[in-house]
Chain A
Amino acid sequence: MPKLSILLCLLGLTACNHEQATNRSLTFWCSNNAGEIAFAKNFTDQWQKQRPDKPLHYQPIPEGQSSEEIILASVVGKTTPDIYANMWQGSVEMYAKANVLIPLDTLTGFREFIMARCDSAVIREITSSDGHIYQVPWKVNPIMLVSNTLAMNDLNNAQPPYTYTKYLNAGRQFTQDKNGDGYVDQWLGYTEVKAIWYERLFNFYPLYLAASNGAPLIVNNRGRPSRAAFNNQYAVEVFRFLQTLYKDGYFAKERLSATRDPFLAKRIASQFTGPWTVGFLEKFKDPGFEYGTYAMPVPDNHRGPAYTYGDPKNIVIFNTCRDPQAAWEFVKTLVDKPGDLQLMELTGQFPRRKNVDTDPYFASFLTKNPRLLPFAKQARYIKGVDNSEVIVEVFDIISQEYEACVIFNKKTPEAAIADAAKAVDVLLMSERVKE
């Protein structure tokens, strides 16, 4: 009899646990900047009112060295949230292959919604190698050229739109030793020289996309090994262009991070940056400081729009989620038109949806924020990164060659690009062997 009582108690407890688990509230991790926290709070409150039967709470991603590190730790510890917004697109394939993400295209209504929101190129870009979609394309920050218009407009034959020749002309005229100590102290521009892989997302990669009309770095051939796709004239030209900027001293090699923002201090006349800069510049610029935003420089014979890197951050649902359909219903509220408008208003970032710049729904925001309009227009011509689980290593390999060629002038652009492509082919081959 006592044994039977214990068994019944245990069964009772298990039933309670099961009930608790199914009624457990969904967890939504957002980024931990003020704008996105406000965004998350608004939408969570709204959801709670509309769907009290599906409790959901938001939480800024826990503090750590990087959000990627936190997400990885939570995957390993099986403590992932149900929904995570702000996933770097390049990380998704690795998680998809590890089977920790929900294939969203299996959820009711997902495909129809995404096809209405995004164009086919975006959908191709986010489709995993297994044919499923594991991420909701959410927001982008196109990388563009921001320049000090008062300084640049006075230069001969160096007005926008910038071709390589025009930009180098500007460098020749603008770069100066102002105090006569034998060292340059006013440069055309500055971009991070460190060989850390992600720095290439803000110099080499957008220039490569601009030159090549958005060409990939890797070609995924179904049934055959993936290969490096960047051993071409565009990548070589980009390396040569950047190499010239450094060799001729138009770009500063030294680190300018320890000083006041060099763009605002007029020590550099231009920078490759995203829309987040606008808020900063508006807040800290001196009276009379004027700047303009333009497409990335392109080769002189370039035809067509100048693509750029869009720095896409997407939304995923982890497979620890007990109610993926409800999670998707919530995510849908973040990425529909009202959600996207609030994203723009609260964070100054752009949704990855069709026609943001021409859709009347967003017109009032862009009228109120004319400085962001060039970025909105550029959002038509952006790319993320190739869907490869070794994309970080691919960028690391390119970064090593970038340093040798562009910064230290130890290799020709042709040799550096060829060596990088060879190394990427070896890497992709070894990944295939492991499969």
Chain B
Amino acid sequence: MKKWTPYLLVSPYILHFAVFVAFPVVFSVVLTFHSWNIISPMQYIGLANYEHLFKDRLFWQAVWNTVRFLLVHIPLQIFVALILAELLNRTVRGASFFRAAFFLPVIVSGVVVTILWQQLLSYNSGILNRLLTAMSVPRVAWLDDPAVAMYSIAVMATWKNVGLYVILFLVGLQSVPMQYYEAADLEGATNWQKFRFITLPMINPTIFTVVVLSTISGFSLFVEPYIMTQGGPMNTTLSAVMYIYRQAFQFYHMGYSATLGFCFALIILFVVVIQRRYVEQEV
């Protein structure tokens, strides 16, 4: 083997990394100090983008909207996924059918799912409101009421992704040794006690994985509000990523958009580090 052969072998990856990861990251950081609308030359403006960011009420609202989404989406996702996994872990008839059924939305295109839910949640003609009307309950503006819209999206996103986490939890549950449950049965433990003191601690790493994965995917919330509400009503479903996109591709503020992206990446990093420190130990 020649001396340079190993370098040659890893060069495709290095090239890919340099072109698609390292260069965009470095270029984005450089962009944060510039004003650039794609078609005019870049103009150095120092820290003006960062100054603007701290005064930009809409960006912070978008970040808060994303956090609000996560606060509903993550607990709901874990709760629903855990219950479904626990049920599937028992010997039920048609378990493989249910596993496939729960996983199906994960592999369906996000855009298709979003459009489907948009129809379901329509104020006028949506099935949900028709059911409410049939039960003489007032209709709800699921996507048009500022107080409700983000929660509707959180529920939809949970439905879309829960199948993946059901599978993860199922793997976690099946890895718990049966001897612990048998010992607990001998001691006369209730089902709740077995779940609380055996299952939960044993699937701790799975829960942590689910929390981190759903946090990261939740922070990148884009397709659902982009298609269903376009960030409205009153910007209550405007997610941070959507705002970054809007600054870049609607107003062509590439420098400012890069600054927002950079700042938002730091926020995500901070949250994940906190989760790693505390959530992992607490669960």
Contact = CB atoms under 8 A, between A and B. Distances in A.
Interface of A: 69, 72, 75-76, 94-95, 97-98, 100, 181, 183, 193-196, 253-256, 258-259, 390, 392-393, 396, 400, 403-404, 407-408, 410, 430, 433-434
A254 B39 contact: no
B250 A392 contact: yes
B125 interface: yes
Interface string B213-238: 00000000000000000111111000
Given A258-B119, A258-B125, A195 B39 contact: no
Given A253-B141, A434-B45, 17 more contacts: A69-B249, A76-B39, A98-B37, A98-B40, A100-B39, A195-B234, A196-B230, A253-B144, A254-B144, A255-B122, A258-B124, A393-B251, A396-B251, A403-B233, A408-B146, A430-B52, A433-B48
A434 B35 contact: yes
A392 B251 contact: yes
Interface of B: 35, 37-40, 43, 45, 48, 52, 119, 122-125, 133, 139, 141, 144, 146, 230-235, 249-252
A98 B37 CA distance: 9
A254 B231 contact: no
Nearest to A194: B230
Nearest to A181: B133
Interface majority SS (helix, strand, loop, mixed), chain B: loop
Contacts of B230: 194-196
B39 A95 contact: yes
Contact of A403 (B35, B141, B234): B234
B45 A259 contact: no
A113 B146 CA distance: 53
A135 B37 CA distance: 21
A195 to B, nearest CB: 5
Contacts of A256: 124
B234 A408 contact: yes
A200 B230 CA distance: 15
Contacts of A400: 235
Contacts of A407: 233
B119 A434 contact: no
Contacts of A259: 124-125
A194 B232 contact: yes
B249 to A, nearest CB: 8
A97 B97 CA distance: 61
B146 A183 contact: no
Nearest to A433: B48
